[in-house]
């Protein structure tokens, strides 16, 4: 990009997560400013494809399904979300995102709480939350492994990668392992069709995955969890 078309403030913004809209410079905000430093992941030391979106900002060490919503450091982030959107309805998606970051899933109670804080009806919030598969409606493991089996990935063995994860974790689709670490799901296109098979683990992408890679990926996640 030439200097003449760089957005204002782009020089000061660290190039950390090219997929994150804040880095356009439009708001002169860093990811750390919006999410809080402790919620921004470092680049994975190894693994994955070099072209991946190198981030996993939602990955907290422990999610607490009963944690209070939007208190402490989350209160400021919630207020930032509110201030950036013209209406409560427009703020609903990021507010649900933040709630999922805290609690790991969006239960009926969480939908009611978020709706109450935004002044939206239960029915409206439920309609939005149940429309998007990215909101987990029930608890998932610490690592949510989503395997793409859509066209490109399917042609390159996506079904076999999915089967390998299910076999290695000894789970059925959507089940969580007894140690609470892994939930394996099948998903539609992850928009990484050029490097199939693509999988998404929490917010982190791995590309060009084959069944042979599965044990190493799981070992690495177990290491991260220990």
Which residues contact ligand FES (rule: CB under 6 A)?
A: 148, 150-153, 189-193, 196, 198
Minimum CB–partner distance for residue 206 and ligand FES (Å): 11
CB-wise, 141 or 196, nearer to ligand FES?
Answer: 196
CB-wise, 152 or 208, nearer to ligand FES?
Answer: 152
Minimum CB–partner distance for residue 186 and ligand FES (Å): 11
CA distance 41 to 97: 17
Minimum CB–partner distance for residue 148 and ligand FES (Å): 3
CA distance 152 to 100: 30
Both structure tokens of 88: 């409560």
Minimum CB–partner distance for residue 132 and ligand FES (Å): 18
CB-wise, 81 or 209, nearer to ligand FES?
Answer: 209
User: Is the Cβ–Cβ distance between 56 and 203 less than 8 Å?
Assistant: yes
193 burial type by CB count under 10 A (0-12 exposed, 13-18 middle, 19+ buried): middle
- CA-CA-CA-CA dihedral for 129, 131, 136, 138, to nearest 10: 80
CB-wise, 125 or 153, nearer to ligand FES?
Answer: 153
Residue 46 CA: distances (Å) to CA of 41, 43, 198, 204: 14, 9, 16, 12
CB-wise, 120 or 199, nearer to ligand FES?
Answer: 199
CA distance 183 to 139: 9
Minimum CB–partner distance for residue 193 and ligand FES (Å): 3
């Amino acid at each position: 990009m030439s200097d003449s078309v760089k957005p204002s403030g782009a020089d000061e913004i660290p190039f950390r997560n090219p997929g994150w809209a804040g880095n356009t410079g439009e708001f002169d905000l860093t990811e750390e400013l919006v999410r809080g430093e402790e919620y921004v992941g470092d680049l994975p030391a190894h693994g994955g494809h070099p072209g991946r979106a190198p981030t996993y900002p939602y990955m907290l060490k422990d999610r607490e399904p009963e944690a209070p919503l939007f208190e402490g450091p989350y209160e400021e982030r919630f207020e930032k979300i509110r201030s950036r959107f013209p209406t409560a309805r427009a703020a609903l998606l990021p507010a649900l995102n933040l709630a999922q970051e805290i609690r790991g899933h969006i239960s009926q109670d969480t939908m009611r709480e978020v709706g109450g804080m935004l002044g939206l009806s239960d029915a409206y919030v439920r309609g939005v939350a149940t429309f998007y598969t990215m909101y987990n409606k029930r608890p998932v493991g610490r690592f949510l492994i989503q395997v793409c089996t859509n066209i490109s990935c399917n042609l390159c063995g996506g079904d076999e990668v999915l089967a390998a994860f299910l076999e290695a974790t000894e789970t059925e689709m959507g089940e969580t392992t007894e140690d609470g670490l892994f939930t394996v799901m099948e998903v539609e296109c992850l928009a990484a069709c050029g490097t199939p098979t693509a999988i998404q683990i929490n917010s982190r992408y791995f590309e060009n995955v084959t069944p042979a890679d599965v044990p190493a990926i799981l070992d690495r996640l177990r290491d991260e969890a220990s």
